[in-house]
A = this chain, B = another copy of it.
Amino acid sequence: MLLDKPNTLEINDQRLWDTLMVSATIGPGKSTGLRRLALSDEDKKMRDQFVRWCVTAGCKIAIDRVGNIFARRDGQDASLSPVLMGSHLDTQIAGGKYDGILGVLSGLEVIRTLNDRNIETRRPIEVVCWTNEEGVRFQPPMMGAGAFAGAHEIDWVLSQTDDEGIVFGEELQRIGYAGETDRNPADIDSYFELHIEQGPILEEEGIDVGIVTGGFTSFGAQLIMKGEHAHSGPTTMKQRKDALVGAAVIVAKVNEIGWDYEPKGRATCARIDVSPNKYGIIADHAEVTIDVRHPDPDLADEMYQKALALIPVASKQANVEIALVKEWSFGNVGFNPDMVNLIRSVASDLEVPHKHLLSAAGHDAYHLSEIAPTAMIFTPCKGGVSHNENEHIERSYTIPGVNVLLNAVLRRANS
Chain A residues in the interface with B (C-beta under 8 A): 92-94, 134-136, 139, 141, 197-200, 216, 218, 220, 228-239, 242, 244-245, 247-252, 255, 258-259, 262-263, 265-274, 276-284, 289, 291, 293, 317-318, 359-362, 384-389
Q: How far is the CB of A235 from chain B (nearest CB, A)?
A: 7
The secondary-structure label for the interface of chain A is: loop
Q: Which residues in B have their C-beta under 8 angstroms from that of A265?
A: 237
The 10 closest A-B pairs by CB, nearest first: A248-B251, A233-B361, A199-B234, A231-B387, A233-B360, A229-B388, A232-B268, A248-B248, A234-B360, A198-B234
Q: A198-B231, A236-B263 are in contact. Are A280 and B248 (CB under 8 A)?
A: no
B238 and A262 contacting across the interface, CB-CB below 8 Å? yes
Q: Check A266–B229 contact: CB distance below 8 A.
A: no
Q: How far is the CA of A387 from the CA of B237 in the complex (A)?
A: 16
| Across-interface contacts of A135 in B (CB, < 8 A) | 279-280
> Apart from A237-B255, A270-B278, A271-B274, what are 19 other A-B pairs with CB-CB below 8 Å?
A92-B278, A135-B279, A136-B278, A198-B234, A199-B235, A220-B279, A231-B387, A232-B268, A234-B360, A234-B386, A235-B266, A238-B263, A242-B255, A245-B269, A247-B248, A248-B248, A248-B255, A271-B277, A279-B289
Q: Which residues of B contact A362 (CB under 8 A)?
A: 233, 280
Chain B residues within an 8 Å CB radius of A228? 388
In the bound complex, CA of A54 to CA of B407 (Å):
86
- Which of B141, B234, B242 contacts A197 (CB under 8 A)? B234
Q: Which residues of B contact A252 (CB under 8 A)?
A: 245, 248-249, 252, 317
**A317–B254 Cα gap in the complex (Å)?**
13
Most chain B CB neighbours (cut-off 10 Å) among A93, A136, A268, A389: A268
A230 close to B279 (CB less than 8 A): no
Q: Sample 22 A-B pairs with CB under 8 A, ordered by A number.
A: A92-B278, A136-B280, A228-B388, A230-B388, A231-B387, A233-B266, A233-B359, A233-B360, A234-B359, A235-B266, A235-B384, A237-B259, A237-B262, A237-B263, A238-B263, A244-B270, A245-B251, A248-B252, A270-B277, A270-B282, A271-B277, A281-B387
**Chain B hits for A267, CB < 8 A:** 237
Question: Complex: how many Å from CA A231 to CA B238?
Answer: 38
* Cβ contact within 8 Å between A233 and B293: yes
Is there an interface contact between A384 and B239, defined as CB atoms closer than 8 Å? yes
In the bound complex, what is the Cα–Cα distance between A247 and B283 (angstroms)? Answer: 16
A268 partner residues in chain B, CB cutoff 8 A: 232, 242, 282
A25 to B388, CA, bound (A): 49
Shortest distance between the CB of A3 and any CB in chain B (Å): 30
Shortest distance in angstroms between A142's beta carbon and chain B's nearest beta carbon? 10
Taken together as a complex, chains A and B put the C-alpha atoms of A360 and B236 apart, in Å, by 10
A234 cross-chain contacts in B, Cβ below 8 A: 197-199, 359-361, 384, 386
